[in-house]
Every structure is written in structure tokens, then in C-alpha cells.
Amino acid sequence: MPGRPARPEAGAVTTSLAPPIIETRGLTKRFGSRTAVADVNLIVPAGCAFGFLGHNGAGKTTVIRLLTGLTQPDSGTVVVGGRPLAGHRAEVLARVGAIIEEPRFHHHLSGRENLRVIAAVRGPQARRRIEPALERVGLADRAGDRVGAYSQGMRQRLGIARCLLADPRLIILDEPMNGLDPGGILGLRGLIADLVAEGRTVFVSSHLIDEIEKTCHAAAVIDRGRLIAQGPIAALLGDGGSSLEDWFLALTSRVGARS
Amino acid sequence: MSRALAGPMIAADILKLRRHRPTMAAATALSVGVTALYLAVILARHNGQLPGARTLGDGTSLMGLYFGSFAAILIGTEAGTIDVTAGVFRDLAATGRSRTALFLTRVPAAIAVALAFTLSGFLLTVAAAFAFHGATPVPGPGLIAGSALWVVLATAVITALAVGAGSLTGSRAVTLTAIIGWQTVASGMLYLATFLGAARDLVLVFAVSRFQPGPAIGTRVNPGSTNALNNLKLPMPAVTAVLVILAWLIAAAAAGAWRTRTRDA
């Protein structure tokens, strides 16, 4: 298909066989009478870029907040790296980096100082990772500037540097392409690919289907709080040769019509 | 929480505060600035001389009860709310670190920063009391040490209260209004409400004032002067004052820690 992006090389990533880094069972979260997340059984294989697709308001951010222990499920369990989050929060999250919704910082501090704040909370090893993380995301020369003067793209990169302080096995990025210019998007795609090549799992939540197709090996789709599909992208699309966007729109409209 | 972790976390909280220019500027104005202005006015009114012990008493009240305590409230409030208002609390919570630990490290950090201001104001007073005492005696070392300790106590208590209240509300405006209103307007009215009797012992500022060195209970620090600074002493036993201070601190810490633990990040 002309102009169609090449899917990322699955390479060593065997998404169907790799042990899951994230496994949720019956995950349910209600806000008053509204069920934001209903009976989600999500399996994210380790060592891949995993897309989490859904329309705005589908429940993506709520799932991420449940995965990072920021909110408690009404029922169901979250297991990360083989350990249940409930009761092992500190150990589980010690090796998880996350940008939730948008990266927030103390604007009156420099980029480096913001990392020092998080590193202080994460522990002494995280402090030693500050400079390599800044180098990694290309912010070493601007690390002394106040974050208030950073562009959206620079803040996104600083957010990833903050994730790297954990030496994470799992990196969760919520709508990471939001507000990025084309150069920033390209840079982020490359960074995600590099992180996966190091054996880390990158969980990318987005409503930008095209980006998921370009970046991820496997994906799950959430619609109205329910998980309606998951698996390697090639397997999800089947042999029909359709794009992920066509498939996603067909799937969500079919589910919508049924409900 | 281990000491190896607590030290850097406190240092990080101090960093957030001392880099916050508006707060630091306001705290400077309220401590060193107000003290300098006050000393300048008294010097002008007393033909270039400062009555030593009385000046020290005034400076102590300024830092422990009045403007210095406003600076401490400002810093404590900032420490209690800064992560929430910046939206960074979510990222701190997502590290998996105990939220109680996140709260607890704010308290010593805020106290350390607040003390830098109130003790600077106090030291300025001491220096002026020696430099311009003229024919009057200089304050003795016992009075200076006692006054300094009281400024430390008053600053630490009010800062801790502000950290707890700030962490509870998550709102700078609400916390500042509530604490400054309570400490000045409401407590000032309660001081005059003699019909309340011993119930007034429960007011924090009276319990803290119980330990302020200097003039006797209910007297003015500067009798007969239009710039008189009232102390706020009530005749209460020292044990009662200690228990009241501890009760306020425990309540503030419990409320702040509870909200930090339960806050939706």
C-alpha cells in the first residue's frame, strides 16, 4: 500500500509467547454510577512496544492510573512483572516509569533540578542516572534552564528522562505524541524503538492510530471501558491488508452498534 | 524510610522552596525587611539609640509572633501545596514511594527554610541592640539564647502547622487565609475574651507565647509606646502549654499525612 508505514520489526519480540509484563484480571473501576473501566483482562508481553488504543474518554487513562497505583480498582487485580501491585506497590513501581496524561514539572526549577527531585524519591541509584538520562533524550545542554522556558517537545523528552531514572523494565506513556512537532514525533519514535531494543517494554496509550501502527508491535483496543481486542498488530489485522486505522474504526463502530 | 533516603528527599524539598522566587522574596520582606524597617523607625524615634533588652523583645515578637511567623506560614503552606499545584504529586506518587514519607519530609524542609528567615531577622535585631544601645544596657547572653530558642520553637510550630494544613487543603489561598486569619484575627479576639477562662489555653499562639522570654504575663513589651507589640501570654502551666502545642502538631501532621495518602493523584 503506497505511503503506508512499515510496521516495526518484531525481531526478537515474540509478542504471543513472551511472558507478560502487565497482566490485569477483571479490572473494574467506577466513578459514582459510571463504569469507567469494566472487567479488563489486559496482557502486555514483555520487551515490546505495546499500543493501547481508544477514543478520547474510552478509559485509557483510567487503566493507566490503575496500572500505576494512582487509583484503586473496585475489583480485579493488576500484576506487573509477575508481582501483584496490591501489597507490593513500592517494589513493583520501583522499575516502572510513567508519563500520565502530560508530563508535569516544577516550572521554577531547571530540567536537571526536576530530575533531582524525582531521583531523591527513587533512591541513590536514580541520582547517578540523571546525567545519562539527560544525554539520552538530548537535553544535556538545556538541563540548566528553567522548565518554564521549555517547549512542549522538550517537556515530553524530560518526562522520558524522568522515567529513565527508574531504569525501568516498563515505561508507560500516555498520549506521548500530543503537542509534538514532526521532528519531535520522529525523535520519540526512535527513542521508543531504542528502549525496546534494550529489552524494555514501552506501553503507549494513544488515540493516534497511525502512530501506534508505526511504533508498536502489539496493541489492545479499549472502547467505552471494555477491552475489545488485543494481540500482535499483524494478527489483529489478519490477512485483509487493511490499515490499523480502518480496522480500529470498523471494530469500534461494530461494538458501538452492538451496545 | 531510611536515613539514606530521607536526607535527599528533604534536600529536594528544600530545593523546591528556595528556588521559588516569589515565596523567598516575600519571606525576606516579612523577616529581614520588616525587622530592618522596624529598627530604622525606632532608631529615628529614639535619636539613634535602641534600648537594648526592649529592642530584643520587640525583634523576638516580630519574628516569633508577627511578621516572621507570616513568613513561616508562607513557606509551610508552599511546602504543603507545591507538588499538588504543580501537578507533580502524581509523578511522585507513581514512583511507589510511601505517600506518608512524601508528607513527612516536607516538614523538616519547610522548617529549615523558615528558620533561615526568622533567625536572620532575629540576628539583625541582636546586632542592632548591640550596635545602637547607647547608654542602656545590652541584652544578656541568657536572654539572647532564650529568645533565639523561642523564635526557633515558634517558627517550627507554625511552619509545621502550615505544612499540615497545606497538605490537607492542597490550596495555597485557603491555607494562608485560614492560618493567618486564625493566628492573628481570631487568636487576637480570643486573647481579649477573658470570659472563656482556661479554655483559651487551647489556642496555639498562647501556648507558644507561654515560653517567650521577657516581660510578665499580660504586659506590653513596649509600655507607653505607640509602636507597642503585645505579647500574647496567658497564665497557663508550662505542662499545659507543651500538651497544647503537641496536640496541634499531631493534629496537623495527622491531617496532612492522611490527605497526602488519600489524595487522588
Contact B95 A117 (CB under 8 A): no
Can you tell me the distance from the alpha carbon of B176 to that of B75, in angstroms, rounded to the nearest whole number?
10
Please indicate, yes or no, whether the overall pTM of this predicted structure exceeds 0.90. Answer: no
Domain ranges of chain B: 3-184
Give the three-class secondary structure for A169: coil
Read off the pLDDT band of A197 (50, 70, 90): very high
DSSP secondary structure, B100-152, as one string: HHHHHHHHHHHHHHHHHHHHHHHHHHHHHHHHT-TTSPPPPHHHHHHHHHHHH
Please name the residue of chain B whose CA is at the shortest distance from the CA of residue A101: B90
* B8–chain A Cβ distance below 8 A for any pair: yes
- A and B: number of Cβ contacts within 8 A: 82
Give the pLDDT of residue B6.
Answer: 92
Can you tell me the distance from the alpha carbon of A67 to that of A64, in angstroms, rounded to the nearest whole number?
5
* B96 neighbourhood in chain A, CB within 8 Å: 69, 89-94, 96
Q: Is the pLDDT of residue A11 over 60?
A: no
Give the pLDDT of residue B96.
Answer: 92
Give the three-class secondary structure for A172: strand
Please name the residue of chain A whose CA is at the shortest distance from the CA of residue B2: A123
Nearest to B88 among A68, A69, A106 (CB): A106
Chain A contact probe: residue of B10, B18, B91 with most A CBs at under 10 A: B91
* A174 neighbourhood in chain B, CB within 8 Å: none
Give the pLDDT mean for A83-100. Answer: 94
Among candidate residues B238, B241, B239, B250, the one with its CA nearest the CA of residue B201: B241
Give the pLDDT mean for A23-44. Answer: 95
Contact A150, A111 (CB under 8 A): yes
* B1–chain A Cβ distance below 8 A for any pair: no
| Mean pLDDT for chain A overall | 88
Q: Where are the alpha helices (DSSP H) in A6-110?
A: 60-67, 89-93
Give the pLDDT of residue A2.
Answer: 39
Nearest Cα of chain B lies from the Cα of A209 at a distance, in angstroms, of 26
Chain A contact probe: residue of B95, B260, B264 with most A CBs at under 10 A: B95
> What ipTM does the predicted assembly reach?
0.87
In degrees and rounded to multiples of 5, residue B115 shows phi and psi of: -65, -35
Give the pLDDT of residue A256.
Answer: 62
Give the pLDDT of residue B123.
Answer: 97
Q: Which residue has the cell 454510577?
A: A33
Most distant CA atoms of chain B, gap in Å = 63
* B92 neighbourhood in chain A, CB within 8 Å: 117-118, 121
* B233–chain A Cβ distance below 8 A for any pair: no
Give the pLDDT of residue B225.
Answer: 42
Q: What percent of chain A has pLDDT over 70?
A: 90
- State the amino acid at position A224 in one-letter form: R
* B135–chain A Cβ distance below 8 A for any pair: no
Given a cut of 70, the residues of chain B with pLDDT beneath it are: 1, 215-231
